Structure 1
């Protein structure tokens, strides 16, 4: 019998919310982030996405069949890994290109969703 793994859903966040004082900034937090791809290294499988002047490193080593284009918008779901110097990296388990998304409208929808959930 296969063992069941408890995979938590990725909480949608904007990159500006991922600062050390935020309650979302914790080791192993399952998050969904969206941003514009600024850099990608094939050797390290590290991508860097930005949104609103904030950047986040994404470890994409577990993603398959995903091609990366600088300047495109991507959404990743994964777990946050916090380094000793408070530098964070998202260990992605899901990644997809979301070119065409209106980021301002997306941010507004997140705010409305949170208001509704509260």
Structure 2
């Protein structure tokens, strides 16, 4: 009997999602957060931004109401379009308006520092 294991989404700041990142590969399970720049009902594609980075999100399996300029968090798997352009195929999504993105980024950096210290000891 085949078992399908769903992995947790690794916390990623969009600006960290670059080709040299170990998480920048097909099938990586990620949790991303950003402000909605655009959304197409026809294609179910969204674009979120955080800082200077953007990411396309495939939302075809989600039932959410989308509002441009609202903050959303998505968990899903990364895959690549033509020219190595990443798209997150979302399996979970939620509106997180009210989240302070600067404080969120700071807490993620502190968490990663702590995890790195723990891995070294």
Q: What's the TM-score once normalised by structure 2's chain length?
A: 0.91
**Dislocated runs of 4+, deviation >6 Å:** none
1:53 and 2:52 equivalent? yes
Unaligned runs of 5+ in 1: none
In structure 2, what is the Cα distance between the partners aligned to 1:83 and 1:47? 15
1:48-87 alignment to 2 at 5 Å? 48-64=47-63, 66-87=64-85
CA contact (8 A) 1:17 1:24 kept: no
What is the aligned partner in structure 1 of residue 107 from structure 2? 109
Count of matched residue positions in the alignment of Structure 1 and Structure 2? 116
What is the aligned partner in structure 2 of residue 7 from structure 1? 6
In structure 1, what is the Cα distance between the partners aligned to 2:16 and 2:87? 14
CA contact (8 A) 1:58 1:91 kept: yes
In structure 1, what is the Cα distance between the partners aligned to 2:70 and 2:83? 29
Once the two structures are TM-superposed, the CA of residue 18 in structure 1 deviates from its matched residue by 1.1
Once the two structures are TM-superposed, the CA of residue 53 in structure 1 deviates from its matched residue by 1.5
Q: What's the TM-score once normalised by structure 1's chain length?
A: 0.94
What is the aligned partner in structure 1 of residue 119 from structure 2? none
Unaligned runs of 5+ in 2: 117-121
Query: What CA deviation, in whole Å up to 9, does each residue of 1:12-41 have, x standing for no partner?
Result: 101111111211101100000000000000
In structure 2, what is the Cα distance between the partners aligned to 1:95 and 1:4? 24
SS of structure 2 residue aligned to 1:104: helix
In structure 2, what is the Cα distance between the partners aligned to 1:38 and 1:84? 21
RMSD: 1.2
In structure 1, what is the Cα distance between the partners aligned to 2:17 and 2:82? 16
CA contact (8 A) 1:29 1:79 kept: yes
